[in-house]
Amino acid sequence: MVGHSWAGALALVYAINYADDTGAVLVIAPAVYESHDDGSFLTGLPSVPVIGDAANYMLTPILGASLIRSELKKAFSPDPVPKSYENSVVTEWCKPGRVRAYAQDESTFNASLRKFSPLYPQITVPLSILAGDSDLVVLGKENALRLHEAVPKSRLVVLPRAGHQIPFTKPQSVIGEIERLMRLSTTRILRIS
């Protein structure tokens, strides 16, 4: 099971609930503990009923692209944002429905993490944690290092000059860690050819 950023928490919860069906877990730049960053007014506004919908449909076309480009720079830093990726993401994430869904996810995320993070020490399958030393989105000490300390026998790999978007900027590190975990896994892996 592989999870990047918020999906890291999903992969961990799956491993807790379905340990017999999980061979190993890799979390990349994991956001797995409650954030004390309350987000911004603009990211929370779309989740407010009625008022949020109106503001979302009016402000997203005006402010959306510049906000997304700013967040992408932060996510890819210290690497540049690939132009083709930026273009497709800006187009997709400037849709008001997408903005509203993201805001709703963000508004419930911390409560979910508060509920599940105390269970992380129950993880018994091999767990690898890949983090970037230059991540500006998810703080490593508050997430990757804390998870490593909470889960006995986990492996923490901190990649130098790597930001949050490790799957894009350091794909060979991700592939290498997946291959390492596959060798450790005791669960039969079904391959479809």
The answer to whether 67 touches 42, Cβ cutoff 8 Å, is yes
What's the pLDDT band for 145 if we cut at 50, 70, 90?
very high
Inform me whether the pLDDT recorded for 189 exceeds 90.
no
Q: Mean pLDDT, the chain, as a whole number?
A: 83
Please report the pLDDT score of residue 131 as a whole number: 97
The answer to whether 157 touches 129, Cβ cutoff 8 Å, is yes
**Picking from 22-31, 51-60, 117-126, 141-150, which range would have the lowest pLDDT averaged per residue?**
51-60
What's the pLDDT band for 88 if we cut at 50, 70, 90?
confident
CATH numbers and ranges of domains, the chain: 2-184 (3.40.50.1820)
Helices (H), the chain: 6-17, 41-44, 51-76, 83-93, 96-116, 144-150, 166-169, 171-184
The answer to whether 58 touches 38, Cβ cutoff 8 Å, is no
Please report the pLDDT score of residue 193 as a whole number: 40
How many Cα atoms are found within 13 Å in the side-chain-facing hemisphere of 117? 21
Inform me whether the pLDDT recorded for 191 exceeds 50.
no
**Picking from 13-17, 75-79, 91-95, which range would have the lowest pLDDT averaged per residue?**
91-95
Inform me whether the pLDDT recorded for 187 exceeds 80.
no
**Picking from 59-68, 75-84, 182-191, which range would have the lowest pLDDT averaged per residue?**
59-68
What's the pLDDT band for 110 if we cut at 50, 70, 90?
confident
State both tokens at 79.
């690497």
